[in-house]
Structure 1
């Protein structure tokens, strides 16, 4: 009888999900995925325009979801009310677009393609890549210049010639057999952690306040989000929007001077050897930060200033650690201190979730559990065994690439620790520009020592900089934010999970193939994204690895010492926060101190901290709620202005656009 009841219950859940996730919502979601996967790379690579795939705000997905809302709920609903989108039908296209957006350019497409094409294209007698790397490159995982597959990609294909897809096809296929399981493993982790973060800890998810605000009022008679009728929203909207429209006029004539939208104030320098304090005003950051807890905002700017002081003192006394890697911070001392704090932060969070994780695993292994996974994007059994199976497969795949099994385990573990940490940062602080203190490859190199790594392992590790390096954006934070949005209704999460996975996979395939096509059509030499296809970012993995090969070293004790110091300080800060009610500084800011994305947004977050502190002191939570529409308007004013600017670039300034959004 129990099994019959469970079967009926499961059938009811599936039926409900089917009714909520309509064919129309899936079609709109796939439309968003295709448009984002084509438009974002095109504008970033060929138009010198804004970068929509280099952060976690996902402007393209937000704007398309808003466009669907206008078409269906404002225009078409005038003739027939049933044509209006429901909240679920609004969310599905949004989250599918978000899942694809982070993988289009900086999150996957650009670093992966440029790293894949580099070994057989950029090897010279001077850099000695052929001597050191060629014996260990696997033919099935690398693109050679057979049939001018690389030369034409850089210079453009000659008239009458055809694209040598066969040369690219095999490496792309085999790399996708690694990339897709990694994406699936990210979804599995989100399913395992969702209840802990969303329901137990009730994390804020500041960036999701925009779509959540849109869903409120969509089922009212007007079918229009309630906040769109608020005058405060349109005041906030008009501030960045009007400035951006004014600047667009200046695109056409030098008579109209550009308003320094991003803030071009000279940086503040505290003394010789001290890093400068950069001054920027970013309305979108101000708007998102309004929904961040005050202790997170305070911790962010206070620890940032401490980082400046720490690096300045190190410079003044002449303390340095030899060697510096890209995708880290300004000083190895700070890099490793922050990484130790970052890993302790992730570990602390997993320790807090230990009872929940234990219950999830118990249910997955068939033991008794009180957890109900019917409102999760995947069954817990699929999530747990999916992650375990995917991890084992990833280790085997990397081993076939040439990496030793222990290092493959270390690297993959580091990658997913970083994915979890960045997802947590975005869930708590809502930072669209954020990355880990260092990438997993750097962590492995200095922890183990290049003298203890084989040539085959180091060659394989250099090749992983493209697909699993978490440089500016990635997929797992988008999955976790979608999990937050799943709470707008019950019994529809199953369809949401598979929609997300499909969107990410379709998006990454389209963006990779589209990037290659654009290269052959125009020549990557003409791409306006100078970092990746201007032979800088593509050479970093191999040049930095070769430096470590030529000058071998053991485990770097100086770096590891600061790693332990950072972990110990983070433990102290987390303990103070847990033990002292009202502790004003969230430890999250400690490991972000003076990273590049932090430098670009700290002044805006400080301004928001001042504004929000005053508002809470004067009017409390009531005044804070009244201010929400204004700050939502700031965010969406930026979103709309960026899209209009890109349209103007496309029509009037092809290949000579204006980069008004995105951090290089």
Structure 2
């Protein structure tokens, strides 16, 4: 019997809907970012824990591991729709330009050029949206102004998600079967659903669980009752103010924070030692770069022109990582293409390769048609935009599959890269407007679908979860998640108000997108400016590090670690990575791989305990009608 049963899919659809509502309610209403801002999503893990616990009561009707994983994966997919970096951002973008046009004088800049049908324009609907306090029975009255934008963007996002799925199919065999990457993020859900229940019999797991849970319980209680002591250094502590003398004061200017999140230490334990070292070291190296800039005077009048140019450096670095990944996988991709369309026997793998290439072509054509005919972009810029997006998507997916690190690279966006390379004048207003209209799904990449698709396919290996059925599960989860996320955002925001009690509503995403657009159109940015040199510098550093790793086996610096360290990904986690790296280094050096393996349950317990208490606090927020403790940020 196949592991993906009807009852598993129905249960998964229910969990996907509940998870989308839960994530939207706590993130949009209370700005609790725990659920969807981490490489391993919080709420699906908690839901899986409830399933595993309840499963013990079912006797002979117990859900098998494949069924538990099916339901879990559907909840995970709902996070890629409802989470912090996806459809929440869409609502922040499509409502922003017309509501804020007058106070920003955008009528003379770009409002008349905005694509028709993709934004909410009605004044009454927007006023109610931003002010809130709309009773549930009155909300359907504004729906007429939302149907067209939400339908068009929904079709676009489903097409984009399908495109991402076909990209996943192209690299699946190479990364899950041939290379057998580590996939650190899937270790906890696999261990939780193991039929023997071995994880829950490990004293070390419960020790890690208890430490993390008690820390969250203590700090959360302090939030409600300040007289209770807490451990403030667990969460972000800004140490920048300690740097008061020049040139070290530059660290204070650009920021340096520390944290000791239990879940982050647990996740970082599974990062290979060389990459973990490169991550925290590159973060500190960036602080040294700030100090050198202040010492040499580069951080002076030039600061207004873009110093320290981290956006450009990290963009170049990530494009270099993507290029290295594509080069390393060139034989697999060409062999898959030849097997799919060449002569010879058509194996099942060849059929999947053929389906992937055909699907990629079809969805790519649909995305291009959307951009050209609805966003009024040129074919050349459309091709450039989506090629950069797909390159970054592959890089993020490979990094997460191999290392499991956070990938919040908010500096790295296709539109910014194209402007840096070609300048605003060459691109033209229509292309700039079209790219900024799509700002919402490429501002950050924490909820990117491809890593989650690939991890689902990896979890299905060796289990009774056929690939065709698994893809069907993804499709069902996507459809349920889209409609549920739309409804949840619509109701929560009209009730609370985008500028009222909805403290997590993405007003700032719209502001970022259209303030930048206004600046590009009014003042412009020439091609070949200083930004380009720093972009090429980031690209060159990654190329040099990759070359040195190939030349010297013992070379300690990983090019991906540099890309992660200089982008936003390590801002919150560098000290956690250091602690996990140092602990793992000591265990391996003095106890060997046996000691390292024995410690794994403890670090899984840190993750599970922190996620459990975080999920419970977020549920209490909904119950009390006020924000409570957040395990993250």
Normalised to the residue count of structure 1, the TM-score between the two structures is: 0.89
8 Å contact kept, 2:82–2:485: yes
Counterpart CA distance in 2 for 1:467 and 1:476 is: 13
Matched, 1:24 2:7: yes
* Distance verdict in 2 for CA 1:388–1:583, change over 3 Å: same
Please list the CA deviations of residues 445-487 of structure 1 after superposition, one character each: whole Å capped at 9, or x if unmatched.
2222111122222222221112343354322221122122122
Q: Name structure 2 gaps, 5 residues minimum.
A: none
Counterpart CA distance in 2 for 1:213 and 1:115 is: 40
* Distance verdict in 2 for CA 1:369–1:264, change over 3 Å: farther
* Distance verdict in 2 for CA 1:402–1:412, change over 3 Å: same
8 Å contact kept, 1:55–1:662: no
8 Å contact kept, 2:13–2:71: yes
Q: Quick one: which of 137, 142, 154 aligns to 2:114? A: 137
The alpha-carbon deviation at position 317 of structure 1 amounts to: 1.9
Hey, what does 1:51 align to over in structure 2?
Answer: 34
Hey, what does 1:90 align to over in structure 2?
Answer: 68
Hey, what does 2:359 align to over in structure 1?
Answer: 386
8 Å contact kept, 1:364–1:385: no
Hey, what does 1:42 align to over in structure 2?
Answer: 25
Hey, what does 2:146 align to over in structure 1?
Answer: 168
Q: Quick one: which of 577, 600, 611 aligns to 2:549? A: 577
Hey, what does 1:153 align to over in structure 2?
Answer: 129
Matched, 1:107 2:85: yes
Partner of 1:537: helix, strand, or coil? helix
Write 1 or 2 for the structure with the bigger share of helix: 2
Normalised to the residue count of structure 2, the TM-score between the two structures is: 0.93
Q: Residues 199-210 of structure 1 correspond to what in structure 2 (within 5 A)?
A: 199-210=177-188
Counterpart CA distance in 2 for 1:263 and 1:119 is: 33
Counterpart CA distance in 1 for 2:263 and 2:131 is: 38
* Distance verdict in 2 for CA 1:625–1:472, change over 3 Å: closer
8 Å contact kept, 1:437–1:592: no
Q: Quick one: which of 447, 458, 479 aligns to 2:453? A: 479
The alpha-carbon deviation at position 201 of structure 1 amounts to: 2.5
Hey, what does 2:415 align to over in structure 1?
Answer: 441
Q: Name structure 1 gaps, 5 residues minimum.
A: 1-15, 219-223, 326-330
Matched, 1:524 2:494: no
Counterpart CA distance in 2 for 1:280 and 1:476 is: 28
Residue range with higher mean Cα deviation, 311-320 or 413-422: 311-320
Matched, 1:68 2:51: yes
Hey, what does 2:211 align to over in structure 1?
Answer: 239
Hey, what does 1:286 align to over in structure 2?
Answer: 265
* Cα RMSD (Å): 2.3
The alpha-carbon deviation at position 542 of structure 1 amounts to: 1.0
Please list the CA deviations of residues 157-213 of structure 1 after superposition, one character each: whole Å capped at 9, or x if unmatched.
655644321110011111122111110111111111112122222221111110122
Hey, what does 1:271 align to over in structure 2?
Answer: 248
Please list the CA deviations of residues 350-374 of structure 1 after superposition, one character each: whole Å capped at 9, or x if unmatched.
1111111112212332433786428
Partner of 1:553: helix, strand, or coil? coil
Partner of 2:107: helix, strand, or coil? helix
* Distance verdict in 2 for CA 1:247–1:307, change over 3 Å: closer
Q: Quick one: which of 569, 573, 577 aligns to 1:601? A: 573
The alpha-carbon deviation at position 246 of structure 1 amounts to: 2.2
8 Å contact kept, 2:85–2:446: yes
8 Å contact kept, 1:273–1:316: no
* Distance verdict in 2 for CA 1:369–1:313, change over 3 Å: farther
* Distance verdict in 2 for CA 1:263–1:461, change over 3 Å: closer
Counterpart CA distance in 2 for 1:437 and 1:139 is: 29
The alpha-carbon deviation at position 527 of structure 1 amounts to: 3.6
8 Å contact kept, 1:308–1:594: no
* Distance verdict in 2 for CA 1:580–1:372, change over 3 Å: farther
Hey, what does 1:452 align to over in structure 2?
Answer: 426
Residue range with higher mean Cα deviation, 577-586 or 239-248: 577-586
Counterpart CA distance in 1 for 2:481 and 2:465 is: 26
Counterpart CA distance in 2 for 1:173 and 1:390 is: 17
Number of residue pairs the alignment of both structures matches: 621
8 Å contact kept, 2:310–2:567: no
